[in-house]
Amino acid sequence: MDSREIKWGLLILFIVLLGYLLPYTVFTETPHWYGSFLLWSLLALAIIVINYLFTRNWGE
Amino acid sequence: MVWWTIVIYIIISLIIAFLSRSGKQTSMESYFLGDRKLNGFVSALSYSATTYSAFMLVGLAGLTYKGGIGAYGFEIIYFMGVSLVAFFGPRFWLAGKKYGYVSPSEMLGDRYDNKKVAAVVSIFSCLFLIPYSAVQLAGVGYLLSGMTNNAISFTTGVIISTILAIVFSYIAGIRSVAWTDSLQALFMIITATIVVLLIINGLGGFGQFFQTLAAKQPESLTVPGNGFFSFLTFLGLTIPWFFFSLSNPQVSQRLFMPSSLKSLRTMLMGFLIFGFIYTIVSIVWGFSASIMFPDLENADLATPKVLSSDLVPPILGVIVMVGILAAAVSTIDSILLTLSSLIARDVYGNMKKEASERKQLQIGKIVIPVIAILAFLFAQINANLIAVLSVASSAGLLVAVPAIIGAFFWKRGTAAGVITSVVVSGLVVIILEFAKLKPFGLASGLWGIALSTILFIFVSLMTKAPEKKADEFISYIRSEMKNTNGKNSRQIKA
């Protein structure tokens, strides 16, 4: 793994950790769409963008 | 109407499957990997269809019905785990191309310089994936019987899908599987999304939908919610699925197939977009069921109930239902094909010295129906909650992950380390699952991965590594990856 891979990898790991921690702490008392539902949706979108940027020059 | 729709689906799929045949399928690489020439679009759709199965649309909706929004989090964590493809995808692809690997376990066997590794990993894959296929079959059984009020029985549904899975694998190997998969995925994403729009609209729009949930079942919008998704349960469910893209050979084998890195990228991105939509679809189905039918006895009936509700036009409901049947088939046929390649190549091929390609392929073709029938028998044991059983199979496959990561990054890894970690931790997972034990509240998968990591490292350190092979393999991958990444970093600077 080179430094670029490590940087992106850590970013993904951080997002995954947020996906575990926030719903079980900050959002336990937010029974609305803008609680855990929104959080997980935004994190998933972030993952899509990250993968897009990370792999953008594959095969060129 | 149900029967007619099923017949139309079968006819269209058969046409697609026959059209997909190209050239002679006489080599293992051709039959099981499509000659490593799959284009990005088909790869993406087929990867999605293989991953997202009846489990997703029946099981995940059921899990949402039962435990609330935690089911969404569970699937999103899995989804995030597919990012592993961005790191391991090119490495698998490069190694497959250079050394001619047909299966992921063949790669492990070669890299750790011991054919027993390939055989052992393959046998354990079968041990866990046959129940997983059975779970898919059971999903179809539930769905058809639930939606037709038993006009089509559980067993009939299971028989139809078993036969179709065998046929689609037979016609042209991975080519017919990939193309019928793609058809199914494309069709399903469109119809399932329409269903979601209709339901949300019928229940008063997006805002109203969530307001109703918040008013009637506020606990369904948080974790741990009604208690189903305690943090430890969540962890136990998500960890095996996070590594799904590496641990499950029917998807990791796909990393060998794209025609180029560009196609591999299309596969990854296509899957992510598809997966995100599909996840939301399943969750909305589950929530809709809990709004409309709050007192179901069996959570797995959530999807059939929604599809046969007043909000969904009957013809659309039937079409989607057949789409779900197709989803189960598209997962099972890929698993059949992968397991058959494992048995023919890594078990049989390694036992017999003179096993030619031709002979291996012959064996592979015999194995396909045998596995299908085993899965069929397993499906007759009516599983209660589809998702949970399915995760148990994932938990079992998880034990090979340390060896897979080690293959690319740790020169000290040894064959003894792989075999010990896979066999011992695999057996521990099986024992925990059968005895329904959760020591210290931790699920079998967590024990499996922890134990297999420790065993892999310790046993490897105590035994002699295949230095020459490890050096050659890892250096090759590293230098090739540098080329890819080198280009990337230059372009980023520019």
pLDDT tens digit at each of 494 positions of chain B: 788 889 999 999 999 999 988 766 778 999 999 999 999 999 999 999 888 877 678 889 999 999 999 999 999 999 999 999 999 999 999 999 999 999 999 999 999 999 999 999 999 898 888 878 887 888 788 778 877 888 888 889 889 999 999 999 988 899 999 999 999 999 889 999 999 999 999 999 999 999 999 999 999 999 998 889 999 999 998 999 999 999 999 999 999 999 999 999 999 999 999 999 999 999 999 999 999 999 998 888 888 889 889 999 999 988 988 888 888 888 889 999 999 999 999 999 988 877 788 899 999 999 999 999 988 888 877 554 444 555 578 888 999 999 999 999 999 999 999 999 999 999 999 888 877 888 998 989 999 999 999 999 999 999 999 999 999 999 999 999 987 765 544 444 43
CA–CA min distance B223, chain A (Å): 6
CA–CA min distance A57, chain B (Å): 6
Let me know if residue B258 belongs to a domain. yes
Let me know if residue B11 belongs to a domain. yes
Report CB contact under 8 Å: B83, A47: yes
CB B251 within 8 Å of CB B51: yes
ipTM over 0.90: yes
Q: Does B487 touch chain A (CB under 8 A)?
A: yes
Distances (CA, A) of B341 to A21, B17, B77, B252, B345: 40, 20, 30, 13, 6
Q: Which residues of B touch A36 (CB under 8 A)?
A: 69, 72-73, 221-223
H helix count then E strand count, chain A: 2, 0
Report CB contact under 8 Å: B265, A59: yes
- In this complex, which of B87, B242, B264 lies closest to A5 when CB atoms are compared? B87
- Distance from CA of residue B249 to its chain's centroid? 8
Distances (CA, A) of B130 to A26, B167, B205, B289, B432: 40, 18, 41, 30, 18
Q: Which residues of B touch A11 (CB under 8 A)?
A: none
Let me know if residue B304 belongs to a domain. yes
Query: What number of other Cβ atoms are within 10 A of residue B479's Cβ?
Result: 11
Q: Which residues of B touch A52 (CB under 8 A)?
A: 269
Any idea what the CATH number is for the domain that residue B41 is in? 1.20.1730.10
Query: What number of other Cβ atoms are within 10 A of residue B39's Cβ?
Result: 17
CA–CA min distance A60, chain B (Å): 7
Let me know if residue B448 belongs to a domain. no
Rounded to the nearest 10 degrees, the angle between the axes of helix B40-51 and helix B174-202 is 70
- In this complex, which of B80, B222, B280 lies closest to A28 when CB atoms are compared? B222
Q: Does B108 touch chain A (CB under 8 A)?
A: no
CA–CA min distance B200, chain A (Å): 14
Q: Does B483 touch chain A (CB under 8 A)?
A: no
CA–CA min distance A10, chain B (Å): 12
Let me know if residue B430 belongs to a domain. no
Q: Does A18 touch chain B (CB under 8 A)?
A: no
- For residue B182, the enclosing domain spans 2-18+30-391
At B456, is the secondary structure helix, strand, or coil?
A: helix
Total count of domains within chain B: 1
Closest-approach residue (CA) in chain A for B88: A1
Let me know if residue B107 belongs to a domain. yes
pTM as predicted: 0.92
Q: Does A29 touch chain B (CB under 8 A)?
A: yes
Query: What number of other Cβ atoms are within 10 A of residue B293's Cβ?
Result: 14
- In this complex, which of B72, B269, B272 lies closest to A40 when CB atoms are compared? B72
